Structure 1
Amino acid sequence: MFSPLGLFRSLVCPEKDKCTRVPCIFSHRDDLPPPHALDLTIHLPEVPTQARPCIAPTTHQPQPQQRLSLTPAKRPLPHTPLGNDSTVAAEPPRKLQKVGSAQRPLAIPSASHTETGVPILRVLPAQSLVPIPIRAQTMLKTLYDHFVILYKPIAPKNPALASEHALRQEEEVYKKSNKMSYRNAVINCVAALKRRRPPDSVSHTSVGTEDDIFARAEAQKLLVSLRVSRLKIEQLVHSIAELEKWGYIVNPPSGPGGDQPSLEGKVSKCERCAQPFQVKRMEKADQCVYHWGKPYTSRVNGEKTRIYTCCSRPVSDSEGCAHGPHVFYESKAEDLHARHPFSSLRPPGSTEVLDVVAMDCEMIYTTGGMRVARVSAVDGSGVQVFDQLVRMDEGVQVIDYNTRFSGITEESYKGAILSLAKIRESLNSLIDTDTILIGHALDNDLKTLRIIHHKCVDTALLFPHRAGPPYRRSLKDLVREKLGKMIQTGDASVGHSSLEDASSTLDLVRWYILNEQNPTARITD
């Protein structure tokens, strides 16, 4: 047995008088203090010299008393009052709390471009995974240079387009790549830019970022795939009361009609200069000076001013900007009926006809007023079903081909062989009173065709002007806003195309079906 070292002699025996240990390692003295008043100092016993490992004999020196500091291994959690609800857990230390977001910060541009057109990339360096000098001075500049080359044909009218698209393209690439793939992604994008065809207008398929072009192509595929049928647009047909409100002629005027096809030699009011004139054919017509554009309100030096779209001159300026013959325009049903009679389409019969047709006409000025010179139509799938020039009735002479808007020239009009009566017969083989006709400001087309029809879908009414009747939005603006493309971009020698306009009105109805009427519309019947 080992002899006791007396380490517990300063502690009172917990069993005191009932202790049965012989000998007891605790003290049974009565003069010792209670356990809670004891000093935690432990007196280490003297270790015999012979028990110490040593190299040389040494003289025994008594060891001083050593005080052990009882420091906890971990810092205790701060005390948080729990209030009445003891089930609420205390807040963990701040260093253990989750701070910030686990998502990667997106450092995207917040500025446009310099005076020279070079884009500016203003982002916080700490938020960009790719060094800013690489993004702004190398990759963004490379994208800008290639957009400048691509957009060279349209740069004079759109000087900031290359800078804007370079910024957006760099942003698209940055969002889709990481630090390692960013450079290669930009290089692939530049290679795609080099493969694009130079655009001739801002509506060209080569204009835009990669995402723009992809989204436009997908939207166009969906539009082209959608066949507009009677079932899809029957609820869009305007009521007769609504048609009358917008100037449609819903009932044929009384009388046989066509008894006064021409006003040659008579006095009328010029639509261009608002002056009275004697109606004469083209080779004998008197000339007038006029504005071919429409007036609109604009702010000049902080003041509202009415100016013309054709020359930007104030309406108060009496002098026109264009020269041409005096012409006249008629809108009253009785006058139009006197030039050529109105009639309805044939009733439904055994012959199968189209259920939906989009139509547009081009008009020219004649001695019989404004008359139809070209009729174009496409079916519900966008396929061309009719496109013919219209020869004037006997005794009606051309005053002005109105090429700026009609696209018809004296040379091209020589191919007109069918009169309006023959054109109507041809249309009767394609459409009847049950056919739904689509058009923009369709009342003008029906008036010049002398057709009475009640099942109409007019895109000018489908997409109303914010000012309400009688204002209408132009087809060109609607197509640019809803379809993201430009039409009627030809100059004065080219003019409009009725076939292009007819297809555009059909696409607007397709867009309405997919986005307004039924966003989940299917592409099948």
Structure 2
Amino acid sequence: MFSSLRLFQQLACPDVPRCSRPHCLFSHRTDLPPPPSLTIPVAQPASSSSRPSTSSTIPAKRSIPSTSAPGPSAPQEPPRKQQKIAPNRAASTAEQPAAGPPVLKVNGASSVVPVPVRQAMLKTLYDHFVVLYSNISNNPSLAAEDALRQEEEVYKKSNKQTYRVAIIHCVAAIKRRPPPDTSSHPSVGTEEEINARAAALKTRKSLRITRAHIEHLILTRQDMETWGFFVDIPDGIGGDRPSLENTIAKCDRCGKPCLVKRKDEAEECIYHWGKPVSRTAGGQKVRVHRCCSKPAPDDGGCVRGPHVFYESKAEDLHARHAFSYLKSPPSPNTVLDVAALDCEMVYTTGGMRVARVSVVDGEGIEVFDELVRMDDGVEVIDFNTRFSGITEEDYNAKAVLPLASIRESLDNLINSETVLIGHSLDSDLKTLRIIHHVNVDTSIMFRHSAGPPYRKALKDLAREHLGITIQSGGVTVGHSSVEDSVATLDLVKWHVVNRPPKPKPPTPMETEGQW
């Protein structure tokens, strides 16, 4: 034990005379001064008039005494440091960073090539895919995904000695590709994927579709009626009311009643040109307009144009321009046995009318492409260039033949026995005023998961099955009926190659004959 230094013997015991400690550290002498009092200032709560009272369960804050002279007049403690608060990431408007280089997740013991070498080569592939896809802004992870698949392709075809050289050749091939601007561009993908698409394209281009290829795809009369085809000529006198100018109709854009006027006299309509689509925002599905992303329904609109109208009833369409059948085949038959057809339409005082007709044969070669002049008394309200691709200048310069003359020209190419191929072909036949019963429709071949009357868009089918992008002209260029008809035929070719018809089961008579 250490000896006591008796340091507290100069301090009077604070418990005198009640101290009961047998060996007290303090002094019990009576001539010593009393110990100084310790005053601890307590922060008083503000009055109820200036701030709400503190709950009784929360203790009052206390200030730490100053090191200066004690007492109520001592200075208060300096303000404490403010806490650092993390930024609200949910409210941040900064763009998310692009995906970084991918990381291989393989078992090093089972890899023929050392994993560090593969990771370095993967980084090289990724860097070149990033440069190649620099114009694609809506898919930041595309370069990483393709680099992973490309490295795996090379690894499976190589050994430890040839792996590096194969990667170098692959990088050189990536450098030679034309820069893509969309995720569905032919330059997007691994080398095997691009070669497979090129081989499929070569097969499609060399294939000439005949009736024998697609006999099983021809729609029945019941299918045609289910999907909205007109199978009979409507009653009444055809073509007796070609125009509804100066009459009231329902606007096809805003849904309000409007007075039908020609282009220079029509009243202005504010509308959304894009249909409502479902998108995910904040973890919830919302309906927005595809054109401007405003919530649907929205009555404000985002673009301006004239009021227009659209008719779908058979008797109304027949009154604007008469329906008729295609002619019977001549002898000998010199017309096409298979033809792909597509039309572009414009808004007129006679409703939506055909303004361009394009036809390609079973090989995909263009055989007919003409602009259509409106019938007498029918005036164009809106050329709908965003979708039709037809401008007023082209129409005035090239549209010479009316629909009746166009139909006579088509009689030299197709007849009642020709298999017509189209996407939503019922719409094209209606605007051409044709009644036809030998049809193949790609919007019905590639069924929408929701069933009739829903259909997949031709643009989506072309991207999904053909790996090509169509209808990307934009506001000033619009669609091309030639491009659409070729894409429709290519979808049929793809179907013929990849989904051949199932063999029919043998009949009982055929089964008995085998025994």
TM-score bracket for the superposition, by shorter chain length: 0.7 to 0.9
Equivalent residue of 1:378, what SS?
strand
Amino acid at match of 1:357: A
Are residue 417 (structure 1) and residue 392 (structure 2) matched? no
Match of 1:488 among 451, 471, 475: 471
- 1:387: which partner in 2? 369
Distance 1:219 1:472, change over 3 A: same
Deviations along 1:186-213, one digit per CA (max 9) or x if unpaired, are: 0111111122222233333222111011
Question: How far 1:307 sits from its partner (Å)?
Answer: 2.1
Equivalent residue of 2:135, what SS?
helix
Question: How far 1:395 sits from its partner (Å)?
Answer: 1.2
Are residue 360 (structure 1) and residue 334 (structure 2) matched? no
User: Following the alignment from structure 2 to structure 1, what is the Cα–Cα distance between the partners of residues 188 and 344?
Assistant: 30
Equivalent residue of 1:164, what SS?
helix
Match of 2:495 among 506, 512, 515: 512
Deviations along 1:461-503, one digit per CA (max 9) or x if unpaired, are: 1111111111111111111112222211221111111111101
Question: How far 1:263 sits from its partner (Å)?
Answer: 0.9
- 1:290: which partner in 2? 271
- 1:139: which partner in 2? 121
Equivalent residue of 2:499, what SS?
helix
Equivalent residue of 2:264, what SS?
helix
User: Following the alignment from structure 1 to structure 2, what is the Cα–Cα distance between the partners of residues 518 and 213?
Assistant: 27
User: Following the alignment from structure 1 to structure 2, what is the Cα–Cα distance between the partners of residues 511 and 518?
Assistant: 13
Question: How far 1:116 sits from its partner (Å)?
Answer: 4.5
Contact kept, 8 Å, 2:473 with 2:479, in 1: the verdict is yes
Deviations along 1:264-315, one digit per CA (max 9) or x if unpaired, are: 1111000110000111111111111111111233444444432222222221
Equivalent residue of 1:307, what SS?
strand
Contact kept, 8 Å, 1:355 with 1:431, in 2: the verdict is yes
Contact kept, 8 Å, 2:389 with 2:477, in 1: the verdict is yes
Are residue 187 (structure 1) and residue 168 (structure 2) matched? yes
Aligned-pair Cα RMSD in Å:
1.8
User: Following the alignment from structure 1 to structure 2, what is the Cα–Cα distance between the partners of residues 191 and 306?
Assistant: 45
User: Following the alignment from structure 2 to structure 1, what is the Cα–Cα distance between the partners of residues 172 and 457?
Assistant: 38
Equivalent residue of 1:282, what SS?
coil
Of 430-439 and 159-168, the range deviating more from structure 2:
159-168
Contact kept, 8 Å, 2:442 with 2:491, in 1: the verdict is yes
Of 401-410 and 138-147, the range deviating more from structure 2:
138-147
Equivalent residue of 1:365, what SS?
strand
| Structure of greater Rg | 1
Q: TM-score, normalised by structure 2?
A: 0.76
- 1:263: which partner in 2? 244
Of 229-238 and 120-129, the range deviating more from structure 2:
120-129
Report the number of matched residues: 406
User: Following the alignment from structure 2 to structure 1, what is the Cα–Cα distance between the partners of residues 387 and 246?
Assistant: 26
User: Following the alignment from structure 1 to structure 2, what is the Cα–Cα distance between the partners of residues 492 and 412?
Assistant: 16
Are residue 230 (structure 1) and residue 218 (structure 2) matched? no
Of 403-412 and 335-344, the range deviating more from structure 2:
403-412
Amino acid at match of 2:447: P
Deviations along 1:48-72, one digit per CA (max 9) or x if unpaired, are: xxxxxxxxxxxxxxxxxxxxxxxxx
Are residue 159 (structure 1) and residue 159 (structure 2) matched? no
- 2:481: which partner in 1? 498
User: Following the alignment from structure 2 to structure 1, what is the Cα–Cα distance between the partners of residues 496 and 255?
Assistant: 42
User: Following the alignment from structure 1 to structure 2, what is the Cα–Cα distance between the partners of residues 411 and 131?
Assistant: 65
Amino acid at match of 2:152: E
Contact kept, 8 Å, 2:185 with 2:467, in 1: the verdict is no
- 1:464: which partner in 2? 447
Question: How far 1:451 sits from its partner (Å)?
Answer: 0.4
Question: How far 1:125 sits from its partner (Å)?
Answer: 1.8
Output aligned runs, 1:172-211, within 5 Å: 172-211=153-192
- 1:427: which partner in 2? 410
Match of 1:398 among 366, 377, 380: 380
Of 116-125 and 473-482, the range deviating more from structure 2:
116-125
Question: What is the percentage of aligned positions where both structures have the same residue?
Answer: 62
Distance 1:429 1:184, change over 3 A: same
- 1:125: which partner in 2? 108
Structure 1 runs (4+) deviating above 4 angstroms are none
Contact kept, 8 Å, 1:202 with 1:486, in 2: the verdict is no
User: Following the alignment from structure 1 to structure 2, what is the Cα–Cα distance between the partners of residues 152 and 413?
Assistant: 38
Question: How far 1:438 sits from its partner (Å)?
Answer: 0.4
User: Following the alignment from structure 1 to structure 2, what is the Cα–Cα distance between the partners of residues 180 and 444?
Assistant: 60
Amino acid at match of 1:368: G
Contact kept, 8 Å, 1:360 with 1:375, in 2: the verdict is yes
- 2:35: which partner in 1? none
Contact kept, 8 Å, 2:263 with 2:380, in 1: the verdict is yes
Equivalent residue of 1:389, what SS?
strand
- Gap runs ≥5 in structure 1: 1-113, 521-525
- 1:213: which partner in 2? 194
User: Following the alignment from structure 1 to structure 2, what is the Cα–Cα distance between the partners of residues 152 and 302?
Assistant: 29
Q: TM-score, normalised by structure 1?
A: 0.75
User: Following the alignment from structure 1 to structure 2, what is the Cα–Cα distance between the partners of residues 307 and 205?
Assistant: 30
Equivalent residue of 1:283, what SS?
coil
Are residue 274 (structure 1) and residue 250 (structure 2) matched? no
Contact kept, 8 Å, 1:513 with 1:519, in 2: the verdict is no
Match of 1:371 among 341, 353, 357: 353
Match of 2:318 among 327, 337, 340: 337
User: Following the alignment from structure 1 to structure 2, what is the Cα–Cα distance between the partners of residues 269 and 489?
Assistant: 30
Match of 1:475 among 458, 465, 482: 458
User: Following the alignment from structure 1 to structure 2, what is the Cα–Cα distance between the partners of residues 140 and 306?
Assistant: 40
Contact kept, 8 Å, 2:262 with 2:380, in 1: the verdict is yes
Deviations along 1:342-377, one digit per CA (max 9) or x if unpaired, are: 111111112511000000000010111000011011
Deviations along 1:152-203, one digit per CA (max 9) or x if unpaired, are: 222x223222221111111111111011100000011111112222223333
Of 443-452 and 122-131, the range deviating more from structure 2:
122-131
